[in-house]
Amino acid sequence: MSDAFKFKIYLPSKQRYYNFSEITNRDYLDIVKIISNSDNDQLLTHFNDIIYRLSGKKVIPAKISRIDSFCILINLYIVCVSNVLEITPKDQQISKLKIDLYDILDKVTNFDFEYTHLLEISDDIKIKLATPSTIYEASTDNLITSVIDTIHITGKTFNFSQFDQKQQQSLIDNITSDVTTHIIRKIKEIDQNYQLDVIKYGQDPPTIVTLNLYNNSMFELLKVIYNSNLEAEYYYRYFMAKHINLPGDQIETSTPAEIQTYLQFYKRERKEEEKAREKTERAQGGTVGASPMMPGM
């Protein structure tokens, strides 16, 4: 896999680029199946596996921010699937809405935001807060511990990632009774500063999709972006194997964008064949068999 095509993705919190391989049809189909099964925990695991694996094991999801994960996954979709998201709003007089995913990526990547904050409880107690790493949380119970990076107590520094959840909570409880209050107050302040409107459509009133830092809004938007018709995904594979004679392994290791390119080539050839067939029919006064139907035609 060392010679596989790679492209660079910028991680805002790291302020640097990392190389990533392409997402394949096999991975994409798994994502679609998991989304259709409404299994958020499994989807999180699969997203994390994709980030780790396609980065050549250079990017560890637990050591980056959820904003980084969002940027990686939307970048992968843009390059390997499509840069345009088409949705049909349920509450607006719009038949179909086309959303430029580059615009969303640009807003998130370039949003002016401090990824770490130093909270000074007292002269002896300082807490460094970081952006949550996981892009999905089943509940908000662990929100406080998930944003703590380090705790500095009377000359000693404790790295929170080295403790399990029970140890983390015990450490907080044993510091001072009002430390949680200070952390919650700071979280609310940060939350007010990170309100990013990425999609807006319709009017009276308009529908606005906003990304927040401490809820699952980024994860939910990724589900909308990656979601697809499961039956159509299977039909693409059937059509490519039966009518274009593409081997199954090549189909699965190609990207969704490549499959769409093959289908467009077939569509173009079919139109040329149809013109030739119609010309032959007119000359012979008969009927010539048509080409097989392509997905979406």
Q: Contact, 34 vs 27, CB < 8 A?
A: no
Q: Are residues 210 and 105 in the same domain?
A: yes
**Whole-number pLDDT of residue 91:** 63
- Does the residue 290 lie in any domain? no
Given the structure tokens 């080539």, which residue do they identify? Answer: 265
**Whole-number pLDDT of residue 143:** 84
Domain span at residue 261 reads 231-284
Q: Are residues 237 and 224 in the same domain?
A: no
DSSP string, 51-70: HHHHTTT---GGGS-HHHHH
Q: Are residues 214 and 251 in the same domain?
A: no
Radius of gyration of the chain (CA): 25
Structure tokens at 177: 């009774």
Q: Which of 193, 214, 243 is the last residue of a domain?
A: 193
Helix axes 217-226, 66-80, angle to 10 degrees: 10
Task: Determine whether 291 is exposed, middle or buried from the number of CB atoms within 10 Å of its CB (0-12, 13-18, 19+).
Answer: middle
pTM for this one? 0.87
Q: Are residues 222 and 188 in the same domain?
A: no
CB neighbours (10 Å) of residue 80? 22
Residues of 216-239 as b/e, b for ≥16 C-beta within 10 angstroms? bbbbebbbebbebeeeebeebbeb
Q: Are residues 19 and 101 in the same domain?
A: yes
Q: Are residues 40 and 108 in the same domain?
A: yes
- Does the residue 57 lie in any domain? yes
- Beta bridge partners of residue 276, listed in sequence order: none
- Does the residue 272 lie in any domain? yes
H or E stretch at 130: strand 125-130
Task: Express each pLDDT in 48-81 by its tens digit.
Answer: 999 999 999 999 999 999 999 999 999 999 999 9
First to last CA, the chain: 36
Q: Are residues 81 and 217 in the same domain?
A: yes
Structure tokens at 288: 């010539």
**Whole-number pLDDT of residue 2:** 45
**Whole-number pLDDT of residue 1:** 41
pLDDT < 70 stretches in the chain: 1-3, 91-94, 176-177, 285-297
**Whole-number pLDDT of residue 281:** 79
- Does the residue 292 lie in any domain? no
- Does the residue 294 lie in any domain? no
Q: Are residues 62 and 208 in the same domain?
A: yes
Q: What's the distance, CA 56 to chain centroid? A: 18
Closest by CA position to 164, among listed 188, 182, 145: 145
Q: Which of 136, 167, 193 is the last residue of a domain?
A: 193
Q: Contact, 139 vs 215, CB < 8 A?
A: no
Collapsed DSSP state (helix, strand, coil) of residue 200: strand
**Whole-number pLDDT of residue 170:** 83
Q: Which of 135, 170, 193 is the last residue of a domain?
A: 193
Q: Tell me the residue type at 76.
A: L
CB neighbours (10 Å) of residue 128? 17
Q: Are residues 75 and 18 in the same domain?
A: yes
Q: Are residues 222 and 81 in the same domain?
A: yes
